[in-house]
Structure 1
Amino acid sequence: MNTAIEHVRIHAYGDRSELKTELVALPPPGAGQVRIRHAAIGVNFVDVYHRTGLYPLPVLPATLGAEGAGIIEAVGPGVTDLVEGQRVAYAGAPVGSYAAARNLPAERAIPLPDAVSFEAAAGAMLRGITAHMLFSYVRPLRPGDSVLVHAAAGGLGLVLVQWAKALGARVIGTVGSLPKAELALSHGLNEAVLYREQDFVAAARAFGGGEGVHFAIDGIGGTTLRQTLEAVRPYGMAASIGQVAGEIDAINPADIGPYRSIAFARPGVFRFMSDIGRYREGAHATLQRLEQGMRVQIGQELPLAQAAEAHRLIESGQTTGSVLLRP
């Protein structure tokens, strides 16, 4: 029997006005699926990319959202390793977490340890898998490496800072205000750069002993990315993981070498998670970090119906930490 469930969907790509709260019929979970009743839903900048069509979705109308946590309230045929009442979390495709409940492939539902709250899981799962991808696959970190993280007080930034520090790295990060600097420093950041007032390239070079950092992570894009390349030491790496500030211009090989001699990566976490083994590895690594004390700063919590306001907040750069929606 189908059940009417509150969803936030888009029928066309565009601005925040395209986000519509609707009742959508949800069938019983099919073979290999579970139904999750959400307790907390993570909001990520990739949701904005999906809303605008920068990263097109398979079909419209579509329910947005790439991260959530809740309780299994039904299991479909063939599911034997998950049970009703179990606490789980997930991230990635298929998108559709902006809903009170949803059906999900059972292999993507990750059981939550008792010590990990719904809020922490919904605020950290996608970001944690991103950190695992960056620091274990894109450029494995070694103790003593220096790392530059942009937007260090944001949801992803705080996770990257703590993850890199746990691996023995030293981290410098850019922030937009003194309160954001204090927040990032309280999560282990070694040095904060107020990018509106200070030259982050010069600061990162000095932080890296005069040559620059070993690894720079740029989710800003626009003109910032070209500056980020200048902050990396020879034979270091810059990774572009987003474009909050706008389109990314083409990178000419001359921009990264031979004089500069740096590596450049444009990794995508959704591509990383398309392999179920890598996805589950990253998810379990994230939960392990949370059990070991990684903190998830929840900046704002809003009702599901206020998803448009959540998008406004993250697009404006006003947020610190993670933004959650509550069904």
Structure 2
Amino acid sequence: MENRSIQFNQTGSADVLHLVQAPLPQPAAGQVRVCNAAIGVNFIDTYHRSGLYPVALPSGIGLEAAGWIDAVGDGVSGWQKGDRVAYCSGPLGAYSDFHCVAAERLLPIPAGLAFETVAATLLKGLTAAYLLHEAVQPKPSSWVLIHAAAGGVGQILCRWAKALGLKVVGTVGANSKRAAAIACGCDAVLEYRSDAFVDDVKALTGGVDVVFDGVGKDTFYKSLEVLNRRGHLISFGNASGPVPAFAPLLLAQHGSLYITRPTLADYTATQGELYTLWEKLCEALENGWLAANIGGRFALADAKKAHELLAKGATQGSLILEPASHAAEVVK
């Protein structure tokens, strides 16, 4: 059996993505081979593809998927063929029928969670978990602002923030996305491109304590403007492009603000850290605080279409790729 995967030989737009076929990969010592049942599509994938986050070329793409263990490499204990697992820690190459990953970075999928639910929420949900529980810990009833509230991470952040007792202003880039943000429990939804945005946030909240900003360049300065004195800007993404360079004095001028640019990798550097966040995410899913909102399903060969939608900002919820049906049947 051959393995289909999406690769790119040069950085650029979604056009650089292409489907290749190769022999089935063999797990090295300490690895397992996972038969992917559902694959998550994330903004970080576009950063790798575009060159914003440099990778060695040619390269596979994709970090997360859910499926079954199909083969176990030497030296692996605690896992066996047929186990339901998920992963999101690399190496790149999750856009494939089969992928070999380190056994120590595998996550066990509880029986009650569907593969597509995990693929749609894993990386995004772990991101929300470290943002809300580790990067900053907002006090209950305090105001937070979540940019791109209708997006994959945004929807999860909004629902989880409300479950923690926070008051949430969600933002959207277009009025067509307002309903999706409202459905996630936001107390108010505003368009961040509006000229009145800063005034509207201040009139509604008096200023927010935390801004979660995955948009980047287009929202950075407005995010600073709406924060309370000693507020926190958590800049965790660059959907509109990287944040412009700024002098630290700018933070003093806006009220002694704090800013951080965290990454999931630094909050899941150890197996223990990864498992802690995974347990929080599973609890949130199993208790109904969170739900997978799948905004689009694509065949593996159509990964380019998924990336084009992300580039246009035309997505609501999570996108997943569905690999070849023959792959999904291997270990059933």
2:195, 2:140 → 1: CA distance?
27
Of the three residues 82, 87, 90, the one matched with 1:85 is 82
Q: What does residue 104 of structure 1 align with?
A: 101
1:246, 1:298 → 2: CA distance?
25
Structure 2 counterparts to residues 105-124 of structure 1, below 5 A: 105-124=102-121
Of the three residues 261, 265, 271, the one matched with 1:270 is 265
CA deviation after TM superposition for structure 1 residue 205, in Å: 2.0
* Segment of structure 1 superposing worse, 37-46 or 125-134: 125-134
The amino acid across from 1:152 in the alignment is A
2:221, 2:193 → 1: CA distance?
17
| 1:120-179 deviations in Å (ceiling 9; x for gaps) | 110111111111211122111221121111110010100110111121111101113444
2:173, 2:66 → 1: CA distance?
30
Q: What does residue 42 of structure 2 align with?
A: 44
Structure 2 counterparts to residues 146-225 of structure 1, below 5 A: 146-197=143-194, 199-208=196-205, 210=206, 212-225=207-220
| Pair 1:289-2:284 in alignment | yes
| 1:259-298 deviations in Å (ceiling 9; x for gaps) | 5221111111223233332222222221221111111110
* Segment of structure 1 superposing worse, 217-226 or 103-112: 217-226
Q: What does residue 21 of structure 2 align with?
A: 23
- CA contact 1:174–1:200 (8 Å) conserved in 2: no
Q: TM-score by structure 2 length?
A: 0.93
Which 4+ stretches in 1 moved above 4 angstroms?
A: none
Between the two proteins, what is the percent identity of the paired residues?
A: 39
- CA contact 1:172–1:207 (8 Å) conserved in 2: no
- CA contact 2:303–2:321 (8 Å) conserved in 1: yes
2:254, 2:73 → 1: CA distance?
58
* Segment of structure 1 superposing worse, 228-237 or 76-85: 76-85
1:35, 1:142 → 2: CA distance?
42
CA deviation after TM superposition for structure 1 residue 196, in Å: 4.0
* Segment of structure 1 superposing worse, 19-28 or 59-68: 19-28
* Segment of structure 1 superposing worse, 298-307 or 239-248: 239-248
Q: What secondary structure sits across from 2:219 in the alignment?
A: helix
Q: How many correspondences in the alignment?
A: 322
Q: What does residue 307 of structure 1 align with?
A: 303
1:230, 1:83 → 2: CA distance?
53
- CA contact 1:141–1:167 (8 Å) conserved in 2: no
Structure 2 counterparts to residues 241-280 of structure 1, below 5 A: 241-257=236-252, 260-280=255-275
- CA contact 2:7–2:19 (8 Å) conserved in 1: yes
The amino acid across from 2:321 in the alignment is L
Q: What secondary structure sits across from 1:222 in the alignment?
A: coil
* Segment of structure 1 superposing worse, 72-81 or 45-54: 72-81
Pairwise CA RMSD: 1.5
* Segment of structure 1 superposing worse, 70-79 or 97-106: 70-79
Q: What does residue 141 of structure 1 align with?
A: 138
Q: What secondary structure sits across from 1:233 in the alignment?
A: strand
Q: What does residue 60 of structure 1 align with?
A: 57
Q: What secondary structure sits across from 1:24 in the alignment?
A: strand
2:38, 2:253 → 1: CA distance?
48
The amino acid across from 2:232 in the alignment is M
CA deviation after TM superposition for structure 1 residue 96, in Å: 1.4
| 1:38-91 deviations in Å (ceiling 9; x for gaps) | 11101011101000111012x221110011111111112222211211111111
1:162, 1:198 → 2: CA distance?
27
Q: TM-score by structure 1 length?
A: 0.94
Q: What secondary structure sits across from 1:257 in the alignment?
A: helix
CA change 1:248–1:194 in 2 (3 A) is closer
2:291, 2:254 → 1: CA distance?
40
Q: What does residue 326 of structure 1 align with?
A: 322
Structure 1: unaligned runs, 5 residues or longer: none
1:119, 1:202 → 2: CA distance?
40
- CA contact 2:46–2:307 (8 Å) conserved in 1: yes
| 1:12-49 deviations in Å (ceiling 9; x for gaps) | 11121211100123332222211111111010111010
